[in-house]
C-alpha cells in the first residue's frame, strides 16, 4: 500500500507539470526548453520528492539508507551497460516509428528542444540527473527491494515496477510507453546484477540528456 501511495503522491502530479501538460494533443510540435521551468521543476518537485523518498526508505532515521548507498567500482559497469542499452532501445524504436506509425496511425513521441546556451545545458544536466535519481530510486531501488519480503518472486516485482514506470510515460504516446517498458526491464536487470542505484541513475540521466541533444 505504501508503494502505491508514494507512486500517486510523487509521480501523478508530474502529468500536469510543464512541459508535459497537453503534449499528447501537440505530439508533432517540439517542446521548447526553458531554463526557469526546468530549474523550478527541479527545485520544487524533483529534489523534495527525492528527499521524501529516501527519508521513508531510511525508516524515518535521517537519511541512513542514502548514507549506506555509496558509489562503487561496479557503478561504472552498470552505467556503461545501462546507458548503452538505453541508446540501443531508443535507436531501435526510432527505426520502427516510420515503418509502423503511418500504417497503424500511431503518433510519434513529442520532440524536445535542446538548450541554446551554456547556462541552459548546466540546468539541463542538473535536472536530468535529478530525474534519473528520483525515478531509479523509486522504480528500481525502492520497488525491487522494499517489496522483496511480500513479493519474493523477482519477476513479479519487475513486472510491477515496469508497469508503473510505463504508466508515467503515457504522455509520450504508444512508442514512448514501449520505450519505457523495454528500458524498465533493462534497468531492473542491471540493478539486480549490481545492486547499486548510482550507475543506473547516471545512465538514466545521461540518456535524458542524449534525448535533448538529439532534439537539435
Q: What is the pLDDT of residue 21?
A: 41
| Spans in the chain with pLDDT lower than 50 | 14-27
Whole-angstrom Cα distance, residue 216 to residue 199? 27
Q: Is residue 32 part of a domain?
A: no
0.75 cut: is pTM over it?
A: yes
Q: What is the pLDDT of residue 27?
A: 45
Q: Is residue 27 part of a domain?
A: no
Whole-angstrom Cα distance, residue 98 to residue 36? 34
Q: What is the pLDDT of residue 23?
A: 41
Instruction: Report the candidate in 132, 152, 173, 142 with the shortest Cα–Cα distance to residue 20.
Output: 173
Q: Is residue 188 part of a domain?
A: yes
Q: What is the pLDDT of residue 101?
A: 66
Q: Is residue 22 part of a domain?
A: no
Q: What is the pLDDT of residue 58?
A: 82
168-197 burial, b at 16+ Cβ within 10 Å, e below that, comes to bbebbbebbbbbbbbbbbbbbebbeebebb
Note whether 135 and 14 are within 8 A (CB).
no
- Read off φ and ψ for residue 112, nearest 5 degrees: -120, 140
Q: What is the pLDDT of residue 10?
A: 87
Q: What is the pLDDT of residue 54?
A: 87
Domain ranges, residue 142: 37-59+72-213
Whole-angstrom Cα distance, residue 68 to residue 179? 31
- Read off φ and ψ for residue 20, nearest 5 degrees: -90, -20
Q: What is the pLDDT of residue 133?
A: 96
Q: Is residue 122 part of a domain?
A: yes
What is the maximal distance between C-alpha atoms in the chain?
Answer: 54
Q: What is the pLDDT of residue 172?
A: 82
Q: Is residue 162 part of a domain?
A: yes
Instruction: Report the candidate in 85, 117, 92 with the shortest Cα–Cα distance to residue 175.
Output: 92
Whole-angstrom Cα distance, residue 208 to residue 113? 12
Whole-angstrom Cα distance, residue 211 to residue 113? 9
Q: Is residue 26 part of a domain?
A: no
Tally of structural domains, the chain:
1
Helices (H), the chain: 2-10, 35-41, 47-57, 64-68, 74-104, 118-136, 143-146, 154-167, 173-194, 198-213
Q: Is residue 86 part of a domain?
A: yes
Q: What is the pLDDT of residue 173?
A: 82
Whole-angstrom Cα distance, residue 90 to residue 213? 13
Whole-angstrom Cα distance, residue 138 to residue 146? 10
Amino acid at each position: 500500500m505504501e508503494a502505491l501511495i508514494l507512486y500517486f503522491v510523487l509521480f501523478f502530479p508530474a502529468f500536469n507539470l510543464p512541459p508535459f501538460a497537453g503534449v499528447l494533443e501537440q505530439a508533432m510540435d517540439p517542446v521548447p526548453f526553458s531554463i526557469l521551468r526546468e530549474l523550478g521543476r527541479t527545485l520544487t518537485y524533483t529534489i523534495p520528492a527525492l528527499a521524501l523518498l529516501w527519508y521513508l526508505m531510511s525508516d524515518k532515521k535521517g537519511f541512513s539508507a542514502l548514507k549506506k548507498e555509496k558509489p562503487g567500482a561496479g557503478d561504472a559497469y552498470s552505467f556503461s551497460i545501462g546507458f548503452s542499452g538505453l541508446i540501443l532501445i531508443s535507436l531501435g524504436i526510432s527505426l520502427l516509428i516510420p515503418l509502423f506509425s503511418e500504417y497503424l496511425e500511431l503518433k510519434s513521441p513529442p520532440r524536445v528542444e535542446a538548450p541554446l546556451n551554456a547556462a541552459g545545458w548546466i540546468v539541463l544536466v542538473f535536472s536530468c540527473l535529478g530525474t534519473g535519481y528520483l525515478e531509479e530510486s523509486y522504480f528500481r531501488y525502492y520497488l525491487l527491494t522494499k517489496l522483496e519480503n511480500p513479493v519474493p518472486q523477482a519477476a513479479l516485482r519487475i513486472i510491477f515496477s515496469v508497469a508503473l514506470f510505463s504508466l508515467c510515460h503515457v504522455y509520450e504516446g504508444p512508442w514512448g510507453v514501449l520505450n519505457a517498458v523495454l528500458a524498465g526491464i533493462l534497468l531492473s536487470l542491471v540493478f539486480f546484477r549490481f545492486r547499486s542505484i548510482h550507475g543506473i541513475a547516471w545512465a538514466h540521466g545521461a540518456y535524458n540528456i542524449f534525448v535533448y541533444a538529439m532534439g537539435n
